[in-house]
Structure 1
């Protein structure tokens, strides 16, 4: 769906995107992670033909960008750097004008598609207030509705949950998962590690303009060599394990061991009751800090 080769963008002496080789496959929910200022938005804008690359190649839906961007855009829904709208018009009127100006939709189905898009983003009961009266969260939802109005094959989103409250973030996350299950590939940029970890199936990490990691999220959650054990016999378990316990908090023990099944058999065979046992795995935060270093502390800060 998206492929880049040695993609580079310079602004004078500043290298914003540095030789990025990106691959987003059909059916992915791909999260492009990076701290603020790492080059994510510049990369996204190049994918949509909004900014020209200094060098390198881009293919979106199998076509070179920007040379054949006119063939690509009707199949792509996008929300980049916040939603654009005529502030004095209503949300519905904005969507109608946007749909009429583009390709891929017909006038006869326009009203139905607008209502469906508004319903999907939680704006079904929107009134005729002008967009200038909307909250930031409502504007963000309207931008998502605009991205969905033509039922795109590919969604390209830049910080799609910006300005939303926790309930709104969860609703948008569930919406994107549903769209993906229905066949839409989702590519989004974010600096919010927790959101990407809950939503995405594949992850790319950008640091100072370079793509320093790209892999399936499941492959990144590797075991740490420790096991989390919950037992009402915590003291007895600690005695049995003879120095393998790294920490203890009430009934919870963190144990140095690489095989939960073998550890469970050892404890049960020693008369220790085990409520639950599982391998500890690396979090996405740990993975990202490993590849970017401790200086990249802007993850999770408000955009």
Structure 2
């Protein structure tokens, strides 16, 4: 759906995007991660032909961009750097004008398509007030509704949950996953690790203009080799594990906090049997998996706070 080869953009002496090779496959929910200023938006704008690349190649929906923009863009819904609206018009009037000038659909179905788009983004009951009276979250929803007017094969979204409250973020996440199940490939640019981790099947990470990581989410969040055990009998479990002769005492319990033990050196089924036999109440026992933020921060040189997480730099 999206492929780039050595995609580069320079602004004078500054290299904003440096030899990026994206691989977004049909059916993906692709999370394009990076700290603010990492080059995400510049990359997205090049994909859509809004900014010309200094060098490199871009292919969207199997066609070269920007040369095939006329054929490609009617099949792409996009929201980049916030929604563009006419502030004196209502949300519905904005969508009607956009449909009349750009969306690829018959005029006789315009009202129905606008109603469907507003319904899907939670603006079905919006009144006739002008867009300038909308909250930031409402404007963001309206921009997403505009992207959906085309019933696109590919959605390209730059920070689509910007300005939304937690409930709104949940609703947009649910909507994007529904669209993906219906056949739409989603390319989602964000700096919010938690959102990407909950939604995406594939991830690319940009750091200082370079693509430093690109893989399936399942591969990135693979097992760590440790087993997570949760029990109300924490101290008893810890003492028991330390006495097991076939486990290395130094590496048996790696962390001890919040009712959780991380154990290395035992098969989960065997570990569970030993604990239960000794009378330890086990409420959860499963292989520990890596967190996306740990994988991302290990691959980048950015400070963790730039990704929305407090703490020291990676």
**Is TM > 0.5 for Structure 1 vs Structure 2?**
yes
Cα separation, 1, equivalents of 2:258 and 2:103: 61
Question: What is the Cα deviation at residue 247 of structure 1?
Answer: 3.3
Q: Deviations over 1:132-190 (max 9, x none)?
A: 11100000000000000121000000000000000000000000000000000000100
Aligned position for 1:142: 142
For structure 1, which segment, 211-220 or 241-250, has the greater mean C-alpha deviation from structure 2 after superposition? Answer: 241-250
What is the number of residues matched between the two proteins? 301
Matched, 1:293 2:301: yes
Q: Output the CA distance in 2 between the equivalents of 1:77 and 1:198.
A: 22
Q: In the alignment, what sits opposite 1:197?
A: 197
Question: Residue 245 in 1 paired to residue 245 in 2?
Answer: no
How do 1:149-298 residues align onto structure 2 when only pairs under 5 Å count? 149-242=149-242, 243=249, 244-249=252-257, 251-257=259-265, 259-293=267-301, 295=303, 297-298=305-306
What secondary structure does 1:35 align onto? coil
Query: Any idea what SS the aligned residue of 1:298 has?
Result: helix
Check conservation: 2:230, 2:259, Cα contact below 8 A.
yes
TM-score, normalising length: structure 2: 0.92
Contact 2:35 2:302 survives alignment (8 Å): no
SS of match in other structure, 1:132: helix
Q: CA deviation at 1:10?
A: 0.4
Unaligned runs of 5+ in 2: 243-248, 310-314
- What is the CA distance between 1:281 and its match in structure 2? 1.4
Structure 1 residues 11 and 251: CA distance shift in structure 2, 3 A: closer
Shift in alpha-carbon separation, 1:258–1:184, aligned structure 2, 3 A: farther
Tell me how far 1:230 sits from its aligned partner.
1.9
Q: Which residue of 2 aligns with 1:8?
A: 8
More divergent stretch after superposition (177-186 vs 97-106)? 97-106
Kindly indicate whether the alpha-carbon contact (under 8 Å) linking 1:58 and 1:64 is maintained by their aligned counterparts in 2.
yes
- State the 4+ residue runs in structure 1 displaced beyond 4 angstroms: none
Give the alignment's TM-score, normalised by structure 1. Answer: 0.95
Q: 1:30 is matched with which residue? A: 30
CA contact (8 A) 1:258 1:279 kept: no
* Secondary structure of 1:241 counterpart: helix
CA displacement at 1:224 relative to structure 2: 2.2
Question: Following the alignment from structure 2 to structure 1, what is the Cα–Cα distance between the partners of residues 306 and 23?
Answer: 25
8 Å contact from structure 1 (residues 90, 129) kept in 2: yes
Distance, in Å, in 2 between the alignment partners of 1:13 and 1:6 is: 18
